[in-house]
Amino acid sequence: MKIFEWHDSEEEKKEIMSLTSKTYGDSEVADSSYYDWLYRNNPQGKPVIILATDEKNNHAIIGIEPIIPMKLIVDESVIISFLSCNSAVNPDYRGKGIFSNLVSSMIDEAIKERFSSIYGVPNKNSYDIFKRQGFTEITRLPLLVRPLKLSRYFDSPLRSLLQPFDSMWKISSNNNTEIQLLRDEYSEDFDVLTVKASKRIQVIQKRDKEFLNWRYKNHPTRDYQTYVLKENSILRGYIITRETVIKGKTIGIVVDFLVDSDTKNKEKLKDLVRAALGNFWKKSVSVVIATCRAGLLEYEILRKMGFFVVPEFLKPEPLYFIVMALDNSLILNKLKLFDNWFFSFGDYDVF
């Protein structure tokens, strides 16, 4: 086995996509346009992808560990951190320590290149390896759920029995004309809102127009909806959503939700959630999920709009949130406490 950093060649792309397909099945992660979007077109910089090859099998790629650059605002200063995502090992080579070697090599490369930090949300299969390599679990992300057409989450005959009760979850109509569906590109207004948010939140991804357009408008395989609240042309908040199908059930996802805490009438901020839920209702979504930590205004609004926190033992996945700070500076130590973070599903690429 040989481990090295990628060269971003077309041959590597072909092999990585083949490996990803073997690992994740028929998934967008193995789509050519997704590959280019994530690894080649990220406006925040080029990723580092560590490859493992089998020298006895024509140097075939048998494992990958990608980390992609992300701009974080920490105490109102911008740093470049890296997000670990889409790790993969050929199923025929598992149990041979390949993934552990990939993570170790990725950390060595990060230290050599003087990266500040790495974070991620690993699955159960990779969590222990990240921990053994020195990552710190700072929390298990809270999973917030709000039922809508709950009967549709179940199969017959339970679906038929629950259908008369769906109306109890229906959201009242949104009549606030200041809430609009964003049809154009994200603008400088979003940069201003993020700067405002960074004054009350110590760690937040830099949600500027460049990032948001890449992440949501230019995503090659997903459709997102963004609702915005504007008061006298001032952006007071937004909510980004999408639908997906999990095990045959249509699920709504609050991908990102950020508001201006200076908004005097906080009821207007609830109207953002109301607009999103109303759209989900029209699309016959069964339940809506989000993640947001307690103590934030956004969390308070979601709770008031009917979201509840799922107990840990009922989560389909643990949602580990891990961090590695590559030096002991005061600013990087902020990353080690989840109470400093603003983190949504849109801050990693699963959703």
Chain segment 200-249, per-residue pLDDT in tens: 999 999 999 999 999 999 999 999 999 999 999 999 999 999 999 988 88
| pLDDT on residue 57 | 86
Average pLDDT over residues 253-274: 97
* Whether 254 and 198 share a structural domain: yes
* Whether 85 and 159 share a structural domain: no
Of the residues 107, 140, 173, which one is the last residue of a structural domain? 140
| pLDDT on residue 25 | 87
Cα(37)–Cα(229) distance, integer angstroms: 29
* Whether 198 and 213 share a structural domain: yes
Residue 350 has pLDDT above 80, yes or no: no
| pLDDT on residue 15 | 95
User: Is there a domain that residue 23 lies in?
Assistant: yes
* Whether 178 and 38 share a structural domain: no
* Whether 72 and 30 share a structural domain: yes
Tens-digit pLDDT profile for residues 22-78 = 998 888 888 999 999 999 999 999 999 999 999 888 889 999 999 999 999 999 999
| pLDDT on residue 269 | 97
* Whether 226 and 290 share a structural domain: yes
Task: Output the domain CATH number for residue 206.
Answer: 3.40.630.30
pLDDT band at 325 (very low <50, low <70, confident <90, very high): very high
Share of the chain above pLDDT 90, in %: 83
What phi and psi values does residue 74 have, to the nearest 5 degrees?
-120, 115
Identity (one letter) of the amino acid at 247?
A: K
* Whether 149 and 113 share a structural domain: no
* Whether 207 and 124 share a structural domain: no
Domain of 68, in residue numbers: 2-140
CA distances from 74 to 3, 57, 134, 291 (A): 33, 45, 22, 20
What phi and psi values does residue 69 have, to the nearest 5 degrees?
-70, 140
pLDDT band at 1 (very low <50, low <70, confident <90, very high): confident
By DSSP bridging, strand 234-246 and strand 225-231 are antiparallel
Question: If you ran DSSP here, which 8-state letter would residue 26 be given?
Answer: S
CA distances from 70 to 67, 119, 197, 202 (A): 9, 10, 17, 16
* Whether 100 and 36 share a structural domain: yes
210 class by beta-carbon count within 10 Å (0-12 exposed, 13-18 middle, 19+ buried):
middle
Cα(42)–Cα(139) distance, integer angstroms: 27
* Whether 130 and 183 share a structural domain: no
* Whether 162 and 283 share a structural domain: yes
User: Is there a domain that residue 349 lies in?
Assistant: no
Are 324 and 119 contacting, i.e. CB atoms less than 8 angstroms apart?
yes
| pLDDT on residue 67 | 97
| pLDDT on residue 56 | 86
| pLDDT on residue 43 | 95
User: Is there a domain that residue 326 lies in?
Assistant: no
Q: What is the pTM of this model?
A: 0.95
* Whether 150 and 114 share a structural domain: no
pLDDT band at 155 (very low <50, low <70, confident <90, very high): confident
